[in-house]
Structure 1
Amino acid sequence: MEKRWGNVAVSDIRRTTVQQWVADLGGVRAPTTVIRAHGVLASILDDAVDDRRLLTNPARGVKLPRKAKKPHVYLSHRQVHDIAEASKHPELVLTLAYCGLRWGEAAGLQVKHLDMLRRRILVERNAVEVAGVFEVGTPKGHKRRSVPFPRFLAERLAKQCEGKGSDALVFPGHHGQFLRQPRVRSGADAETRARDSWFSAALHDAGAPRVTPHDLRHTAASFAVSAGANVKAVQRMLGHSSAAMTLDVYADLFEDDLNAVADRLDEAVSAQIVGKTWASD
């Protein structure tokens, strides 16, 4: 971006010029990269407007490329358990896949956040790695939530907490520190990916599709829906800001609900018509 705009006075920047730059950049860069670059430029020009060096921001209102929506990969129960048993952190894999926690939420999870009697996980911390340093804060959206975990996980999580104090991490990394999120590289062969991290190695050994730890949230959502959970329950489990967001992200999981609506309409119409026919007879 500096190469294109570094020597241009802000007063000389026009919307048509920004639009052409976005189009040119889109020819050689991915949509996400273009959107981020445009965001940096627009932010700089916002400051220029605030300082009254510009009347309006010429970068605002520019048409940006659309990001292609990546299809979700939903794993089966067998695949999840195969990955877990092939990994060095099986309880973590199962927790991500059945409870839908984000990586930072799982990394920041402490023993005191587990209610073994009620089988609940209290999600109130988020440990995110930024430039090699972990920053601990509240979950995304700053909302605490209580997430249930299945009975089969209770004993495994209990063993994971044996001998630990209440403030200890449930899933620690080296020397009891926060566990770093494993890399899952694209564009590399299976053996290279397997060497990248313990998670990639587990995928390779289990013969599972290429997914990231974050993708296990999608599987958690699919398990919940297939078990009969409604959209509000899935929203609460995943910590989405609204049910509308959950429907937007996982509309494909509720296709059967749409079919059920059509079936109920058929039944209602049939009942009305048959009832009317009998009455006329």
Structure 2
Amino acid sequence: MRFNLKMVAWIGFLLTTALFLGGADGKGCGIADDSTQEAKIEKARIALDKGNYSEAVETLKDLCGTNVSAPTCDPEIVSLYASAYAGKAGLDVFDLIKEAADRPVATGSSYALFSAHFSSPDSVDASDMNNAVLLLTSLTARTPDQGLQLAVATVVDLVVVLGSKTGGYGADGRPVQVPTTTELDDLTPIQGITLISRVLRDVNNMGIGLDEAAIGNENISGHIRQIQQQLSTVNSTTVQSLLNSI
């Protein structure tokens, strides 16, 4: 397994600050008053560590509010909140990073790296990932680590929202059924935005997040760049072509 130094450093950051999975060991720090901000953050991290993502979301709502486009908490807690929503939708970033290190960047293969983890995404998963993306884009100044978190979250949002239209994905990451261009051009809003508009938003945010992360094109970032390049022009034809390339 091959990791570059910046990727190793970023994985270490995730493990210590819990941008994606909370990082608590479940033992707690002995905070007696569970109504304090510190106690709620600890509770959310423990819930994330145990995979109780819905509980983490509900706990962090008390700190950040329900308007994911304008959270009322600190940026570090916003990252945690986004992690809770992403985890609820099925994102396991550590598995993705490990697999990305050994998978060559290639047309179709890079998308399958992500889609193989989401066999049957539905509208609830699409809503959760949308919330994660909106939380991260609400930050006016992201750190490099939050930039990479945004890039990963937007790829997963793309995979989940398209998967909800394809009947899911097989174990190899291939869509069960590729929609027609007419189906992809459906103007029915999904969480307030049409499908193609959401794909365009995600592709743009992939680039923004990777530029902020500044980690080059190795490992998982290379796979994200590959997907972005396949959708350099976003319309129903290019989206269909992407799905057919897997």
TM over 0.5: no
Q: TM-score range by the shorter chain?
A: under 0.3
Q: Specify the structure having the higher radius of gyration (Cα).
A: 1
- Structure scoring higher RCO (CA < 8 A, sep ≥ 6) equals 2
Q: TM-score, structure 2 length as denominator?
A: 0.26
* TM-score, length-scaled by structure 1: 0.24
